[in-house]
Structure 1
Amino acid sequence: MKSTLDSIIFDLDGTLWDSTETIAIAWQKALDQLGMSDKSITAETVRGLAGMPYDAIYDKLFPDLKGEKREKLKQLCARLELETLQERGGVLYPEVKETLEFLKGKYKLAIVSNCQSGYIETFLEHHSLHAYFTDHECYGNKGMSKGENIREVVSRNNLQQAVYIGDTTGDYEASQIAQVPFILAAYGFGTVEVEVESIKQFADLKHL
């Protein structure tokens, strides 16, 4: 694979950074503002949702909240999440920037995530990483699945041999839908039950 690889597509949460603490703060603030302080959101709560489409998160966390109330909470969470991330950011995994610098000289780099619109842009802006990536796509832009979005990025950038790097079973399944090889970020939030290539830290990509 290494000899023919021309591009690397990354998942974001659990692969490039950990923003769970910041997101938990934002979502709890939204709940408090709407008089729902009886519900508690922690970083561990957010970590358990990693890789899920943005809308599906509310099915899991708030199954009894319907209609206008649910939409109001979703919009407030989304707005406060981006505002809080712009202010506080997330935690980059060790040697992410240095490794991206190394990889950029050899491959086209992109990001595909199941996040809301504006989330990837906030990540790139907060950590000054725009220059490293050719493209990015997310669930929030067109409501497409992660697998479809990987295919979209491959197609519009004319990528001949891409690989997808993520940390959850959902990421692996998306790579299979997109028909690209998968590498597991074993330091991330999830696991994959099948045997796949893996990295124990982000810098391992320099040598893989």
Structure 2
Amino acid sequence: MDSIIFDLDGTLWNSIGTVAIAWNEVIKKSNYVEREVTERAFEQTMGLPFQEIAQKLFPELDEQKQKQILAECCEVENTYLEKHGGNLYPQVEETLKELSKKYKLYIVSNCQAGYIEAFYNYHKLDAHFIDFENPGRTGLSKGENIKLIMKRNKLKSPVYVGDTQGDFQAAQYAGIPFVYASYGFGEVEAPDYTIGTFQELKELF
């Protein structure tokens, strides 16, 4: 193993509280969404592609309106996250520091452009990572973005760490082992490895 590629939401941090505030600020100003989005509703969309998130959160809107409100919310969300951050899981910074001494670290997340940068800017963790990717920049699926990171950085034997079935399927698509972060948002059947806390990665690798 030469590298570790991480999911972000449900793996490195939980940003739902901050994201909910940002989205509901946008919703209050809109004239076509009549209800706020709850944190529970956000939890049920973790790891999904943008279009599926819009369909789940705003099923009453047509596709054009879904795309419009999603774009507006994501733009404000990045600003909020850069100012207020999210909740890092316990021992994330310390564990990343240790892992980066042995392995090359990366992030691939199903998020908009600017989201990972907001994570970096608030929590000052960018020094531990070499590269990152997301569909907001590439328009690709998570599995395709994992393969892109592998190709771009000439990785020979990475693993992917995530918390949802979609993450597992993305790792399978990329042909690499999957580490299930069971403390996150999703459930995964038959992962290659399972961790109950982030710091267990130090024992696993």
Q: TM-score, normalised by structure 1?
A: 0.94
Distance 2:35 2:2 in 1: 46
Q: Secondary structure at the residue paired with 1:55? A: helix
Letter in 1 for 2:107: I
Task: Select which of 76, 86, 90 maps to 1:90.
Answer: 86
Question: Contact 1:20–1:90 (CA<8 Å) still a contact in 2?
Answer: yes
Deviations 1:172-200 (A, max 9, x none): 00000000000000100001022431101
Which residue of structure 2 lines up, in the alignment, with residue 75 of structure 1? 71
Deviations 1:145-188 (A, max 9, x none): 00000000001100110000000000000000000000000100
8-17 or 135-144, which deviates more: 135-144
Which residue of structure 1 lines up, in the alignment, with residue 115 of structure 2? 119
Distance 1:73 1:111 in 2: 26
Q: Does 1:197 align with 2:193?
A: yes
Letter in 1 for 2:8: L
Moved over 6 A (4+): none
Letter in 2 for 1:7: S
The Cα of 1:72 is off from its aligned counterpart by 2.9
- Flag structure 1 segments of 5+ consecutive residues without an equivalent: none
The Cα of 1:38 is off from its aligned counterpart by 3.1
CA RMSD of aligned residues (A): 1.3
Task: Select which of 22, 36, 41 maps to 1:45.
Answer: 41
- Flag structure 2 segments of 5+ consecutive residues without an equivalent: none
Q: Secondary structure at the residue paired with 2:37? A: coil
Distance 1:81 1:14 in 2: 17
Q: TM-score, normalised by structure 2?
A: 0.95
Q: Secondary structure at the residue paired with 1:9? A: strand
Task: Select which of 2, 24, 29 maps to 1:28.
Answer: 24
The Cα of 1:80 is off from its aligned counterpart by 1.2
Task: Select which of 159, 164, 167 maps to 2:160.
Answer: 164
Which residue of structure 2 lines up, in the alignment, with residue 181 of structure 1? 177
164-173 or 61-70, which deviates more: 61-70
The Cα of 1:135 is off from its aligned counterpart by 0.5
Number of equivalent positions: 204
Which residue of structure 2 lines up, in the alignment, with residue 109 of structure 1? 105
Question: Contact 2:168–2:191 (CA<8 Å) still a contact in 1?
Answer: no
The Cα of 1:69 is off from its aligned counterpart by 3.2
82-91 or 192-201, which deviates more: 192-201
Describe the shift of the 1:116–1:147 C-alpha distance in structure 2 as closer, same or farther (beyond 3 A): same
Q: Does 1:66 align with 2:70?
A: no
Query: Identity, % of aligned pairs?
Result: 48
76-85 or 166-175, which deviates more: 76-85
